[in-house]
Each structure stands twice: as structure tokens, then as C-alpha cells.
């Protein structure tokens, strides 16, 4: 886990929000979970064994901490950026709300405020369904 992820986890705990699942394997969950035959099951659906940094599966809410924005990290270079877009696209097709955040937003508390807001929206949508 990155330092930014640990900082966000601390903020979530301090705000007494529900505990998220870390490194949640949403692709694997969609095809019956990890275990024997996972690669074949994923390939059959066009999914990969993608993970969310933070997830609340009951709300279909995920948070991704995007690092390296100012240093040309993986998330901001061509291939890595495109792969991230494919991951988010697949998640959204499965009904997930995906919130992407970065260091400055985490440190300022803006990310926590947005997560709290999104949780309320997702809870309402879950109850309405």
C-alpha cells in the first residue's frame, strides 16, 4: 500500500465511515471469486483480475488513489493510462461508481468529503433498488 493510501485509510477510520475492503478484486468477484479456473473465467468475459484500492461492494462504490501525477508515473503515461481507463470502463459497466483521487485531495480532506457524499448517494440508490 502506498503512503497516500494509508493516509486515506486513516482519514476514513477517523471519520468513522464504514471500513472499506482494500485491494478488492472486482473482476474476480464478478466471475465467481478467486480460485481454480479464474484466468479462464476472466478471459471468457473479457475481464482482468483488476483491483480497487478501496471498495464498498455493498454500495458498488470504489476509490482509486492515483499516484505519480507530477512525476510521470504509470497512471499518467500512455499504456498505463489506457489500461486504467479500460479498468474503470469495465467497472462502470458493472454498475460501480468509481472515484479517482490524488495526494493533494487526500491531504486536504477533499477526498474524504467526496467519499462521504458518494456513500450517501450510493446508499440511497441501494435502498431505492
Domain ranges of the chain: 3-22+53-122
- The pTM assigned to this predicted structure is 0.87
pLDDT tens, position by position, 18-56: 999 999 999 999 888 888 999 899 988 888 999 999 999
pLDDT tens, position by position, 82-109: 999 999 999 999 999 999 999 999 999 9
- Least Cα distance to 65 among 15, 116, 9 occurs for 9
Amino acid at each position: 500500500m502506498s503512503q497516500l493510501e494509508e493516509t486515506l485509510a486513516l482519514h476514513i477510520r477517523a471519520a468513522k465511515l464504514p471500513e472499506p475492503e482494500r485491494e478488492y478484486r472486482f473482476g474476480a468477484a464478478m466471475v465467481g471469486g478467486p480460485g481454480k479456473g479464474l484466468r479462464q473465467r476472466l478471459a471468457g468475459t473479457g475481464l482482468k483480475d483488476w483491483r480497487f484500492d478501496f471498495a464498498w461492494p455493498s454500495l458498488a462504490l470504489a476509490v482509486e488513489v492515483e499516484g505519480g501525477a507530477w512525476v510521470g508515473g504509470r497512471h499518467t503515461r500512455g499504456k498505463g493510462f489506457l489500461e486504467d481507463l479500460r479498468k474503470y470502463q469495465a467497472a462502470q459497466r458493472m454498475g460501480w461508481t468509481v472515484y479517482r483521487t490524488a495526494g493533494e485531495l487526500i491531504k486536504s480532506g477533499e477526498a474524504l468529503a467526496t467519499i462521504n457524499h458518494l456513500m450517501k448517494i450510493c446508499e440511497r440508490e441501494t435502498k431505492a433498488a
